[in-house]
Amino acid sequence: MNTVGEPQPARNQPPAISNAEVQRALDAILRDNLRQASLGLAILFGILAVNHQQLPEPARNVMIPLAGVTTLIFLGLYLLLRRYTLPLPWVNPLAGALAALILTNTFAHIYLTSDPLQTTNFVLLVIGLGFLMLSIWWFIGSLVVTVASWIVIVQLSPPDPAWRHFGFTLLSAIFLAIIVHFARVSGLKRQERLILEEERRQESLQTTLATTEATRRGLELTVIVAQSITSILNLDVLLNVIVEQIKKHYGYYYVGIFLLADNDRYIISRAGTGEAGRHLCETGFRLRVGEEGIIGWVAKHRQPAIVNDVTQDDRYVQVNAIPETQAELVLPLEVGGTLLGVLDLQSTQPNAFADEDVAVFRSLAAQVAIAIQNASIYESERARRLLAETLYDIGMALSQTLDRGKILELILNNLNEIVPYDRGSVMLRTGLDLEIVAARGFPPGTNFQTIRISIDRENDLFWHIYNNQEPLLIPDVSEWPSWVYVDDLPRAKSWLGVPLMLADEVIGMLSLARETATPYSEDEATLASAFGGQAAVALENARLYANVTQAYEQLERLDRTKSDFINVAAHELRTPLTTLRGYSQMLLNDPQVQSNVLHHQMVEGIYEGAIRLHEIVNSMLDMARIDSSTLQLHTRPVNLRLLIEKACHTLESIFEEREQTLVVNLPELPLVEADSNELLKVFQNLITNAIKYTPDGGAVTITGRAVPANEERLETAGVEIVVSDTGIGIAPEFQELIFTKFYQTGEVAVHSSSKTKFKGGGPGLGLAIAKGIVEAHGGHLWVESPGYDEQACPGSHFHVLLPLHFSTAAQQE
């Protein structure tokens, strides 16, 4: 394995050519020359063998076979050299041996003939050596041997001045041979050096070209990959496209991306090619940074790592899903000095990765890292926005219901959307106990109602949350000393507890558990807290609403009891009252009573009191009937003008008594389908009130009109009657209240008992009964008054609006 730093500079300068290399090139030339020379020499010695026929005996007997054998040796050598390539170190010794063979012939020839003229053969041999030999030492060696042989011959031969002459010729030949040798060798050396240099240059050029081509192709692919990823903003899609694109273009066995997680303690497989990739991501394959795998190493050291034989690297972790890996290249994914993760390339070929690949993939990794960062930023922004929207929606949903059961269901369902959990429960606090009021994700049949959790135990989870009023995150419950595993439940791995806060009070908690290894993050805790705030408000609203409803129901029950009592009491009172009225009337007509003024006055008082009481009891019965919706209406077409005139007629004497003016100003009105007895009570009440709350000398005016459909408060056509007075008026805040039963403005104690005196008292039922009757007819009764003022007397206007046609539906309303 080697760790690669910066990419190597390109090698443009080929290394220098050494002398040994040149010498080897020369030896190679000699080897070629030897082959050609051995053929030439074979032919030459063949001719010589024939030519040696002319030699005298005994030279001829020696020279012919010698030349013959030499011919055969050369011929054999030629054939061998054609067929086999002679190893270079043998080239010079062989050349020496050949020279020795020629020398032997030359030596024998001159020795046997003792003819100085044969020195010419030595001359030729010397020049030949100068030409053929390409190694200085072998050349000198063979030269020395040749000259020495000639000197030996001269010594052995009879003296002859010609030797001297040929000695000079030989000397000249030696010089010539040396010149030839050096000229040839230096020429060849120079030429070979050039050739070698050219070869080197070519070689280096090829390598550079190949590298450049690979880099170019790599960079081109980088651009393609980069282009195809920059526009993807979904992180998961992006990561998968990256790995698939790299695999497609570069053809590696496995390409994966790992991202840092869990406070950079782990590096987790986030995308990978093929089935293996899917498997690793689904199972949450992860490595400890700096401790496990080449990937963990790169994540710690933030340098690329090339491992060209994974079996030789002890950091390599064999992954079952990717069994055929031989070589691996891992690069850090960094943006602006921040490490996001690593890019992992694996090949089934050992030595698949070269240094040049690192340069290419570094550039790719840089672009991939930027794309990942962009997508992450976009995703987290989007997630934040989505969460804000979800929280808003949840808030809306929660605020739209006051049903506790529904709210609890909404809490558990919606919470799962923003902070996923496997098991969750909502707990509400009573004193120092928590009670589970709703749960989700528990096995069917789990009985929470019986579970009570105390928050009194020091250092317990719930104790912490209650006292700190903050969420509590437990990434690994096995590390929490007091964690209690509940039997029959799948084991929780991580847990999040959130307080439900209302102002400064913890009213309950949310408990969320995950069975997977993914722990809750701080972000999720914050979210759950925000959610908890809304949930707490919704639960509190539901509680308040439930309390109000309860109180209301209680009041209603009380009211019913009271109505029942009034009903019974009124019925009970009616019989004795009738008796009282009957007897007192008889007494009034009795002559004895009539003759005594005092007695007559007393009996008259009893009789009037009985009448008044009777009226009150009747009102109470009416009210009770209206309250219990048992008012029976016997409807027929009613002429309201006649009805009102009748009501006025019964009150004529009172108007006189109070010196009030009555103006009935009614046009011809359509008939109204109604119960005339009940309506009579309505108008009697209104007119009586008008008299009562108007000072002496005031005026009461009754007007009316036909009302078309959809005007005012009626959908159908109707009639409106207005009873106006010039009385004390009614303050706006009481204009609704006066229609509730037993309601009276002012103090009861100051009321006069007379039913028609100014501000005379009554049981406070008149308007309530009138409204009940009008509404039972499907109509409306209301008052309009500028306000209450006993001095200015702004007056009041009581409006009675009745539909022309009575419908039972209206009665039931």
Query: In this complex, which beta carbon is closest to ligand ADP, that of residue 230 or of residue 701?
Result: 701
Question: For residues 302 and 304, what is the distance between their CA atoms, to the nearest angstrom?
Answer: 7
Q: Which of 146, 494, 689, 726 binds ligand ADP (CB under 6 A)?
A: 689
Interface with ligand ADP by CB under 6 A: which range of 259-267, 372-380, 404-412, 765-773?
A: 765-773
- Residues in contact with ligand ADP, counted by CB under 6 A, come to a total of 20
Helix axes 19-51, 91-113, angle to 10 degrees: 30
- Quick one: which of 739, 726, 720, 659 has its CA closest to 690? 726
Q: Is 744 in the site for ligand ADP (CB under 6 A)?
A: yes
Q: Check if the beta carbon of residue 721 is closer than 8 Å to that of residue 701.
A: no
Question: For residues 247 and 362, what is the distance between their CA atoms, to the nearest angstrom?
Answer: 16
Binding track, positions 482-501, relative to ligand ADP; x by CB under 6 A: --------------------
Q: How far is the CB of 752 from ligand ADP (least distance, A)?
A: 11
Q: Is 762 in the site for ligand ADP (CB under 6 A)?
A: yes
Q: Is 259 in the site for ligand ADP (CB under 6 A)?
A: no
- Quick one: which of 752, 736, 742, 757 has its CA closest to 689? 757
- Quick one: which of 710, 731, 732, 740 has its CA closest to 790? 731
Q: Which amino acid is at 706?
A: A
Q: How far is the CB of 414 from ligand ADP (least distance, A)?
A: 51
Q: Is 698 in the site for ligand ADP (CB under 6 A)?
A: no
Question: For residues 271 and 259, what is the distance between their CA atoms, to the nearest angstrom?
Answer: 9
Q: 386 is written with which tokens?
A: 């989505």
What are the beta bridge partners of residue 719? 706, 802
Question: For residues 781 and 501, what is the distance between their CA atoms, to the nearest angstrom?
Answer: 48
Q: Is 453 left (phi over 0), alpha (psi -120 to 50) or beta?
A: beta
- In the block, which residue shows the tokens 């006292």? 467
Query: In this complex, which beta carbon is closest to ligand ADP, that of residue 574 or of residue 757?
Result: 757
Q: How far is the CB of 580 from ligand ADP (least distance, A)?
A: 22
Site for ligand ADP in 771-800 (CB under 6 A): 796
Q: How far is the CB of 784 from ligand ADP (least distance, A)?
A: 11
Q: How far is the CB of 615 from ligand ADP (least distance, A)?
A: 11
What are the beta bridge partners of residue 42? none
Q: How far is the CB of 729 from ligand ADP (least distance, A)?
A: 6
Q: Is 351 left (phi over 0), alpha (psi -120 to 50) or beta?
A: left
Q: How far is the CB of 742 from ligand ADP (least distance, A)?
A: 8
Question: For residues 468 and 462, what is the distance between their CA atoms, to the nearest angstrom?
Answer: 10
Interface with ligand ADP by CB under 6 A: which range of 49-57, 285-293, 640-648, 737-745?
A: 737-745
What are the beta bridge partners of residue 707? 718
Question: How many other CB atoms are there within 10 angstroms of residue 137's CB atom?
Answer: 9
Q: Check if the beta carbon of residue 685 is closer than 8 Å to that of residue 723.
A: no
Q: Which of 743, 756, 784, 805 binds ligand ADP (CB under 6 A)?
A: 743
Q: Which of 766, 772, 778, 803 binds ligand ADP (CB under 6 A)?
A: 766
Q: Is 690 in the site for ligand ADP (CB under 6 A)?
A: yes
Site for ligand ADP in 668-687 (CB under 6 A): 685
- Quick one: which of 725, 666, 732 has its CA closest to 697? 725
162-184 in b/e form (b: 16+ CB < 10 A) is ebeebbeebeebbeebbebbeeb
3-state SS, residue 423: strand
Question: For residues 397 and 414, what is the distance between their CA atoms, to the nearest angstrom?
Answer: 10
Q: Check if the beta carbon of residue 267 is closer than 8 Å to that of residue 289.
A: yes
Q: Is 256 in the site for ligand ADP (CB under 6 A)?
A: no
Query: In this complex, which beta carbon is closest to ligand ADP, that of residue 600 or of residue 751?
Result: 751
Query: In this complex, which beta carbon is closest to ligand ADP, that of residue 691 or of residue 801?
Result: 691
Q: How far is the CB of 730 from ligand ADP (least distance, A)?
A: 5
Query: In this complex, which beta carbon is closest to ligand ADP, that of residue 392 or of residue 742?
Result: 742
Q: How far is the CB of 462 from ligand ADP (least distance, A)?
A: 58
- Quick one: which of 637, 700, 635, 712 has its CA closest to 669? 637
Question: For residues 300 and 294, what is the distance between their CA atoms, to the nearest angstrom?
Answer: 10
Interface with ligand ADP by CB under 6 A: which range of 100-108, 627-635, 668-676, 762-770?
A: 762-770
Q: How far is the CB of 813 from ligand ADP (least distance, A)?
A: 21
Q: Is 660 in the site for ligand ADP (CB under 6 A)?
A: no
Q: How far is the CB of 728 from ligand ADP (least distance, A)?
A: 5
Q: Check if the beta carbon of residue 694 is closer than 8 Å to that of residue 725.
A: yes
* DSSP 8-state assignment for residue 758: T
- In the block, which residue shows the tokens 């002496």? 696
Interface with ligand ADP by CB under 6 A: which range of 99-107, 179-187, 334-342, 742-750?
A: 742-750
Q: Which of 14, 290, 490, 763 binds ligand ADP (CB under 6 A)?
A: 763
Query: In this complex, which beta carbon is closest to ligand ADP, that of residue 147 or of residue 648?
Result: 648
Binding track, positions 705-734, relative to ligand ADP; x by CB under 6 A: --------------------x-xx-x----
Q: How far is the CB of 545 from ligand ADP (least distance, A)?
A: 32
Query: In this complex, which beta carbon is closest to ligand ADP, that of residue 628 or of residue 740?
Result: 740
Question: For residues 90 and 530, what is the distance between their CA atoms, to the nearest angstrom?
Answer: 93
Q: How far is the CB of 798 from ligand ADP (least distance, A)?
A: 7
Query: In this complex, which beta carbon is closest to ligand ADP, that of residue 449 or of residue 665?
Result: 665
Q: How far is the CB of 643 from ligand ADP (least distance, A)?
A: 19
Q: Which amino acid is at 781?
A: L
Interface with ligand ADP by CB under 6 A: which range of 190-198, 235-243, 471-479, 743-751?
A: 743-751
* 179 Cα distance to chain centroid: 88
Residue closest to ligand ADP (Cβ): 762
Interface with ligand ADP by CB under 6 A: which range of 244-252, 408-416, 632-640, 763-771?
A: 763-771
Q: Which of 46, 290, 533, 764 binds ligand ADP (CB under 6 A)?
A: 764
Q: 716 is written with which tokens?
A: 């159908």
Q: How far is the CB of 651 from ligand ADP (least distance, A)?
A: 14
Question: For residues 684 and 766, what is the distance between their CA atoms, to the nearest angstrom?
Answer: 9
Give alpha helix (H) positions in 251-354.
Answer: 274-282, 293-301
Query: In this complex, which beta carbon is closest to ligand ADP, that of residue 423 or of residue 681?
Result: 681
Residues near ligand ADP (CB under 6 A) are 685, 689-690, 693, 725, 727-728, 730, 738, 743-745, 762-768, 796
